[in-house]
Amino acid sequence: MYDVWQNALAEIEQQISPANFSTWFQDTSLISTQDGMIVIGVKNTFYVKQLRSRYSSLITTALKNNNVEIKSLDFEVKSPTKNKSRSREITTPVDIKKRIKTIKDSRNTSLTTNTGLNSKYTIDNFVVGSNNDLAVSAARSIIDSPGDRYNPFFLYGGSGLGKTHLVQAIGNELLKRNPNLKVFYTPISHFYSDFIDAVRAGKGKEFNLKFRKLDCLIIDDFQYIVGKEKSQEEFFNIFNDLYQLNKQIIVTSDRLPSQIKTVDERLANRLTWAGAFDLQLPKFEDKCAILRAKAELLGAEIEPEAIEYIAENVNTNIRDLEGEFSTILLMSEVRGLTPLELINKGAVNVNRPTKLPSISSKQVIEKVAKYYQLSIKEMCGKSRVAHIKTARQVAMFLLSKELKLSTNKIAAEVGVKDHTTVMHGIKKISTDLKLNFTLRDQIEEIKESIYG
């Protein structure tokens, strides 16, 4: 039973988010399979309710894939000592991950293992908002006509914003419409490690040929190509061959190719031939939409006010947003309170960006001026010299985003004529941040000097 449940857990882990897997399956065990009467051991009655309502079908499928006869599925609360050591063995993440490769090689699961794709990523469960609508529109166009208008499709943005979800969703949808297509997804780190292994084994031609036979190649986390000159050259050649054959090429990165050090200029240019699409941090309304969709998917009840509270206070990325959401739902069930009741009682500690409570507009202006090697008088004067104007606009941006000052107040602080100049300055920096990673790094360094 140990091996069976470990295999099942490894399979389940590939179907749901890491946060949900850790929350609901970490301390489970397989107690009995006698006569097809399956009994799963869990920590408490709350887990019985949640696993039965949300994951019975998933568990049943995973067990059936491991040749377990199932007539009924039930859950039993374990005593503090019952199956304790066995449970720890079964749910050790390292042990589970060791099983994943065996499962992939031995039989078909809902993971389309020969493609590298995970079937849980679909276009239907990708929430569209103002932060990603252009990228999603391009993705749908690719699904309708691969290798045509958006080829290559270059998608970039920060960690946890949904790049992997969206590009794997494209691959899954292409296969859904035409199962005969040869689609392959791989992180760039796997690409170059496999390339090195192939060269060492004298199978470089076979490696190259495998990729040239594809109808759609999806490369994730391209930024890690830094310093891998031979791998760049190999990818460059594969790219050219696929492109000439009108095969779809999809690449993700945390930044534009031209902003990745040591990337060959020819390759950088080719990757953005059809443009570059970015995933931005979701706005408040986008975050609310994501959380509502998540609640609907889980069948969870959560008040609109609770959703708005989470959306307002998580300002990092979608991954963190969903993690906080899952935590609050768990606390809600365990304590027998609604999410909003938990929030109103102060029992929820959603991570906010840390700020010094005594930070002032004067400190922000001083730090910006110092960073750009200007005097406060120069920066807050009327000079139109480019680098001085940029510094002034960065100060406006930080006063708005970090201190939430009104545009009229910011105008008075930085010495500009009126609030419309401030609005223009803030908009200019916000727009530039989408493409200018140097500016992003500068602003992060200034923020560190302010808060650090």
DSSP state of 259: G
Other Cβ atoms within 10 Å of 404 Cβ, number: 8
Q: What percent of the chain has pLDDT over 90?
A: 42
Q: In the predicted model, is pLDDT for residue 372 greater than 90?
A: yes
Residue 418 pLDDT > 90: no
* Confidence check: pLDDT of 68 > 90: no
pLDDT grade for 349, boundaries at 50, 70 and 90: confident
**What ranges do the domains of the chain cover?**
2-106, 133-279, 284-344, 361-451
Who has greater pLDDT, 146 or 331?
A: 146
Give the pair of three-digit tokens for residue 61: 């499928």
pLDDT (mean) for 412-438: 86
Q: How confident is the model at residue 373 (pLDDT cuts 50, 70, 90)?
A: very high
CA angle 416, 417, 420 (to 5 degrees): 95
Of 118 and 10, more confident: 118
Task: Work out the pLDDT band at 306, boundaries 50, 70, 90.
Answer: very high
Percent of residues, the chain, with pLDDT higher than 70: 88
Q: CA 259, CA 164: separation in Å to the nearest integer?
A: 20
Q: Cβ(167)–Cβ(218) under 8 Å?
A: yes
Q: Is 95 exposed, middle or buried (0-12, 13-18, 19+ CB in 10 A)?
A: middle
Q: What angle do CA 151, 152, 153 make, to 5 degrees?
A: 95
**417: number of Cβ within 10 Å:** 9
pLDDT in tens, 158-176: 888 999 999 999 999 999 9
DSSP class of residue 222 equals G
DSSP character string of 144-203: HSTTSSS-SEEEEE-TTSSHHHHHHHHHHHHHHH-TTS-EEEEEHHHHHHHHHHHHHTT-
Please answer whether residues 371 and 354 qualify as being in contact, where contact means their C-beta atoms are separated by less than 8 angstroms: no
Identify which of 247, 173, 184, 258 has the alpha carbon closest to the alpha carbon of residue 220. Answer: 184
Range in 109-118, 190-199, 232-241, 322-331 the model is least confident about: 109-118
- The radius of gyration computed from the CA coordinates of the chain, to the nearest angstrom, equals 26
Looking at residues 88-107, what average pLDDT do you find?
A: 43
Q: For the domain with range 361-451, which CATH number is right: 1.10.1750.10, 3.90.1170.50, 3.40.50.410, 3.90.950.10?
A: 1.10.1750.10
Distances (CA, A) of 13 to 49, 91, 165, 410: 20, 11, 16, 49
Average of pLDDT values for 318-332?
A: 88
Q: Would you give the DSSP letter of residue 75?
A: E
pLDDT at 2: 63
Say which CATH topology domain 284-344 has. Answer: Helicase, Ruva Protein; domain 3 (1.10.8)
In whole angstroms, what is the distance from residue 296 CA to residue 19 CA?
Answer: 17
Sheet holding 153-157, edge to edge: 183-187, 216-220, 248-253, 153-157, 276-279
| Mean pLDDT score, 371-383 | 93
Average of per-residue pLDDT values in the chain: 84
Report whether pLDDT(375) > 70.
yes
Confidence of residue 436 (pLDDT cuts 50, 70, 90): confident
- Four-way CATH pick for 133-279: 3.30.420.40, 3.20.20.30, 3.40.50.300, 3.40.190.10: 3.40.50.300
Mean pLDDT of 403-419: 89
Confidence (pLDDT) at 378 = 92
Evaluated on CA atoms 450, 310, 120, 276, the torsion sign reads: negative
pLDDT at 102 over 60: no
pLDDT digits (tens, 9 = 90+) for 12-58: 887 776 667 777 887 788 998 888 899 999 877 767 877 887 888 88
Q: Which residues contact 440 (CB under 8 A, 6 or more apart)?
A: 433
Give the tens place of pLDDT for each residue, 193-223. Answer: 899 999 999 998 999 999 999 999 999 999 9
Rounded mean pLDDT, 106-118 = 61
For the chain, how long is the longest CA-to-CA vector?
A: 84
Instruction: Please give the CATH topology (third level) of the domain spanning 2-106.
Output: GMP Synthetase; Chain A, domain 3 (3.30.300)
Q: Is the pLDDT of residue 441 over 90?
A: no
Query: Per DSSP, what are the bridge partners of residue 37?
Result: 72
